[in-house]
Amino acid sequence: MIRRKASRFSKVCIPLVTYYAEGVRNVLILMFAVLAACSTAPETKQTKSGPPEPPGAAAAIGKHPLNKYVEVMGFRMAEQGAGKLKITFAVVNHSEADIGDLGLKIKLITTAAKPDDPPIAEFEAKVPSVGPQENKDVTVTVPTKLRIYELPDWQFLRAQFEITSPAP
């Protein structure tokens, strides 16, 4: 076998090219690091003031002393024939005392309703005696001009209630 001697070019140029390639690589890494550190995330604008209103219990209207103990929640709607809407909901007594027959006036609205928009439904309900820390399911039938598919889903409903009896 014949062994060739390394040329003078390969002895000088290959280490020199390797040295410069490592230098260019280091400069590129440094540039990317500087660019990443200097860039900022785009500003996000918050269009709504305050957090969105979560679905939940109905808001009490009026100044009845039982308002702080009574919770009305879990509204479900079903069509019960033409022009009739069956509404089922729960009434919870959070007090340690029995609440006798309870009369409620309830108004269902949507989350997007303006103050002067008509409610989806407005009705009165009688709730039999609710014991301490107890809940009762209540079902009422109310007239409506809307079909079930025209009504909002449960998460877009808000309810307001007023206790009409027992008298304060």
Same domain, 113 and 156: yes
pLDDT tens by residue, 123-149: 999 999 999 999 999 999 999 888 888
Same domain, 73 and 148: yes
49 part of a folded domain? no
Within 8 A by CB and 6+ apart from 143, the residues are 83, 84, 85
The total domain count for the chain is 2
**What is the extent of the structural domain holding 18?**
8-42
Number of Cβ within 10 Å of residue 166's Cβ equals 13
Average pLDDT score over residue span 101-117: 90
pLDDT tens by residue, 4-31: 665 666 666 666 667 777 777 887 787 7
Same domain, 26 and 83: no
130 part of a folded domain? yes
- The reported pTM is 0.65
Given this model, what pLDDT does residue 40 score?
66
The CATH number covering residue 120 comes to: 2.60.40
3 part of a folded domain? no
pLDDT tens by residue, 48-90: 544 445 556 788 888 999 999 999 999 999 998 888 999 999 9
